[in-house]
Amino acid sequence: MDSATTNPLRAAAEANPYLRWRAAHMARFALAEKPDQRPPEALLQRVWLYQRLLADRLQTTDGRKVRILHPGFWNHEPGPDFRRAVIQFAGEPPVCGDVEIDLVPGGWEQHGHARNAAYRDVILHVTWEPQTTPASVGTTSATTNALPLPRASLALKHALDSTLPELSFWLGLEPKPAPEGLAGKCSAPLRTLPAETVNQVLRQAAHARLLRKAELLQARARQHGWEAALREGLFGALGYKRNVWPMRRLAELLPMALGDLRELAPDNETSNHHDSVFTLQARLMGLAGLLPGELPKSVEYFRRAWDLWWREADRFAEQKLPPGIWNLGGIRPANHPQRRVATAAHWSLRKGMFQELDRWLERTIESPDLVASLTEILQVRHDEFWSYHWTLKSARFPRPQPLLGEQRITDLAVNVVLPWLYVRALSGRNETLANGAESRYFHWPAGEDNSVLKLARQRLFGGVSARFLKSAVHQQGLLQIIRDFCDHSDSTCTGCQFPDLLAAAAAVGSGR
């Protein structure tokens, strides 16, 4: 049976002209369905970056379970593939170090890593094929005067969350650091295209981005269920790009942290509800390592949280996130993880929140009211402490401030909520709801401008104003084009095929 017939998400992708062109002209990542085929190392790196893995199958070659708390930061300079990953091996505290990825275990010697001091801090050697004769931890390589071997080796061949062809299709063109530069080669043809043709290209690229996000959520749902996939996505989005992984880890730990709180706390404004929210906030911040060691300005809240966490810390000791996993440099106080964890605690105790999202999709809502209507569901109406503080150390506001701003609601909508509703409807063969989610995605108002969008406008349109991007779908389309094309070329657009796609779009638009 054809894969598109059995997978509605893949069928939607194959109906998208942008993705059809991309698949036809960028086949270098394509893989046949061969059981003994190795993936390109570049694909394996992307699998690791996005953790497209079955967590319960991650085991070192010497039989120890592995938990990936943070995959590390992709290194595009000489040295290990990922820097500063946080890994926990069974029975040991989490450790921070580098990760090197090779197709075969012998790559450690073949590529000269054993004699290169840049690889001294590698704690995990990730391979496609398993190591047949596991080496002892801390032993040296066979090469004379070589570095000690990494702490462990981990094979991914039997731990992928999807097939190689599926992963090749969805991850084959993922981002690398964006190039610096002025207007690209596509800028001139874009200026000559009719506005409607440009709009169609942007919409198709935005749809490709919707499908990619939907597929990631679908992969998580296959492992943990739809509600857990949404919760993980929402938590990760609250972490922004700097703290996605620790927030996702807290989402994984949430069932344990909740315990019986959901049953004890009615979903209203009673004292029991407030107590349960506070208890969950204290547990999550304790697990996250976000309770400061010194006395902050918020003395009462802090002391209550520490008293609660101190009594329960031993019970959660093995799951506590390690120091240093949070990236707090340059974060605005309003976006501090402490406040985002507090928001997530409210969501976690909201009974029927997932059903509210279902009903929201079924309602008839005009475009200008989309943000307000979703805000009614996601916004935390009031928190006795966090409505008046950015962080535990900040002074109290004279007036309460919302825990989620309009921009954050837009980010949650286009990156998590709508892709989740869309793919769940597709999986349930509910075409009406899938069309509804897609329609809201295409009509969502534009979000906040950012540095990536500014670069995209410079590269593609010669620096047009942000007012050109009238909706979120235009922004999403630009981001997808940057990731599909600009991120795979240099500042002079060497080898970039986006102008060819524009020529094909122009030919279709003119009827040629």
> Apex CA 331: angle with CA 286 and CA 70, to 5°?
55
pLDDT in tens, 326-335: 988 878 888 8
Q: What are phi and psi of 405, to 5 degrees?
A: -85, 170
pLDDT in the model for residue 181 = 42
Query: Whose CA is closest to 88, among 258, 308, 245?
Result: 245
- 490-497: list long-range contacts, CB under 8 Å, 24+ apart: 490/179, 491/179, 491/180, 491/181, 491/182, 492/181, 493/184, 493/185, 493/186, 496/184, 496/185, 496/186, 497/25, 497/26
> 133 pLDDT band (50/70/90 cuts)?
low
Cα dihedral sign for 504, 436, 475, 44?
negative
> 367 pLDDT band (50/70/90 cuts)?
low
pLDDT in tens, 174-191: 433 333 445 677 777 777
> Apex CA 24: angle with CA 21 and CA 25, to 5°?
85
Give the whole-angstrom CA distance, residue 200 versus residue 264: 51
Q: What are phi and psi of 256, to 5 degrees?
A: -70, -40
What is the total residue count of the chain?
Answer: 512
Give the whole-angstrom CA distance, residue 217 versus residue 25: 27
Q: Which residue has the higher pLDDT, 477 or 190?
A: 477
Please determine, for residue 137, whether its predicted confidence score (pLDDT) is greater than 50.
no
Please determine, for residue 423, whether its predicted confidence score (pLDDT) is greater than 80.
yes
What six digits make up the tokens of 308?
């609660």
pLDDT in the model for residue 447 = 86
Please determine, for residue 4, whether its predicted confidence score (pLDDT) is greater than 70.
no
Give the whole-angstrom CA distance, residue 227 versus residue 509: 42
pLDDT in the model for residue 9 = 83
Please determine, for residue 510, whether its predicted confidence score (pLDDT) is greater than 60.
no
Q: Which residue has the higher pLDDT, 465 or 408?
A: 408
Choice among 65-74, 79-88, 494-503 with the minimum mean pLDDT: 494-503
Kindly report the three-state secondary structure assignment for every residue of 275-301.
HHHHHHHHHHHHHHCCCCCCCCCCHHH
Give the whole-angstrom CA distance, residue 485 versus residue 175: 9
For the beta carbon of residue 300, count every other beta carbon within 10 angstroms: 8
Please determine, for residue 425, whether its predicted confidence score (pLDDT) is greater than 80.
yes
What six digits make up the tokens of 24?
């036809």
**By CB neighbour count within 10 A (0-12 exposed, 13-18 middle, 19+ buried), where does 394 fall?**
middle
Please determine, for residue 32, whether its predicted confidence score (pLDDT) is greater than 50.
no
Please determine, for residue 234, whether its predicted confidence score (pLDDT) is greater than 50.
yes
Query: Whose CA is closest to 254, among 380, 348, 337?
Result: 348
Q: Compute the mean pLDDT over every residue in the chain, rounded to the nearest whole number.
A: 83
Give the whole-angstrom CA distance, residue 391 versus residue 299: 12
Query: Whose CA is closest to 382, among 274, 234, 290, 231?
Result: 274
Give the whole-angstrom CA distance, residue 258 versus residue 218: 24
Please determine, for residue 22, whether its predicted confidence score (pLDDT) is greater than 80.
no
The position carrying tokens 């406008």 is: 457
Please determine, for residue 238, whether its predicted confidence score (pLDDT) is greater than 90.
yes
Give the whole-angstrom CA distance, residue 277 versus residue 180: 45
> 339 pLDDT band (50/70/90 cuts)?
very high
Q: What are phi and psi of 85, to 5 degrees?
A: -75, 155
Choice among 230-244, 246-260, 355-369 with the minimum mean pLDDT: 355-369
Average pLDDT over residues 396-423: 94
pLDDT in tens, 192-230: 788 888 889 899 999 999 999 999 999 999 999 999 999
Average pLDDT over residues 411-422: 96
Q: Which residue has the higher pLDDT, 171 or 294?
A: 294
pLDDT in the model for residue 453 = 81
Average pLDDT over residues 30-47: 70
For the beta carbon of residue 435, count every other beta carbon within 10 angstroms: 12
pLDDT in tens, 429-471: 899 999 999 999 999 998 888 777 887 777 777 666 656 677 8
Query: Whose CA is closest to 328, among 400, 396, 262, 390?
Result: 390
Buried b (16+ CB within 10 A) or exposed e, 147-166: bebbbbbbbbeebbbbebbb
pLDDT in the model for residue 67 = 92
Element (H, E) at 218: helix 195-224
pLDDT in the model for residue 124 = 94
Give the whole-angstrom CA distance, residue 398 versus residue 28: 58
> Percentage of the chain with pLDDT > 90?
42
Average pLDDT over residues 260-273: 63
Give the whole-angstrom CA distance, residue 366 versus residue 354: 21
pLDDT in the model for residue 33 = 45
Give the whole-angstrom CA distance, residue 219 versus residue 423: 10
Q: How far is CA 262 from the centre of its chain?
A: 27
Element (H, E) at 307: helix 299-312
pLDDT in the model for residue 456 = 77
Inter-residue contact 119 to 78 (CB < 8 Å):
no
Average pLDDT over residues 33-51: 78
> 498 pLDDT band (50/70/90 cuts)?
confident
pLDDT in tens, 269-300: 555 778 899 999 999 999 999 998 777 766 78
Inter-residue contact 171 to 215 (CB < 8 Å):
no
Please determine, for residue 157, whether its predicted confidence score (pLDDT) is greater than 80.
yes
> 399 pLDDT band (50/70/90 cuts)?
very high
pLDDT in the model for residue 264 = 56
Query: Whose CA is closest to 481, among 177, 167, 194, 173?
Result: 173
Inter-residue contact 287 to 258 (CB < 8 Å):
no
> 246 pLDDT band (50/70/90 cuts)?
very high
Bridge partners for 73 per DSSP: 83
Give the whole-angstrom CA distance, residue 265 versus residue 350: 9
Choice among 30-44, 340-354, 423-437, 484-498 with the minimum mean pLDDT: 30-44
Please determine, for residue 163, whether its predicted confidence score (pLDDT) is greater than 80.
yes
Q: What is the DSSP letter of 357?
A: H
pLDDT in the model for residue 136 = 47
Please determine, for residue 139, whether its predicted confidence score (pLDDT) is greater than 60.
no
Give the whole-angstrom CA distance, residue 90 versus residue 221: 25
Query: Whose CA is closest to 479, among 210, 189, 218?
Result: 210
Give the whole-angstrom CA distance, residue 43 versus residue 48: 9
> 424 pLDDT band (50/70/90 cuts)?
very high
pLDDT in the model for residue 248 = 94
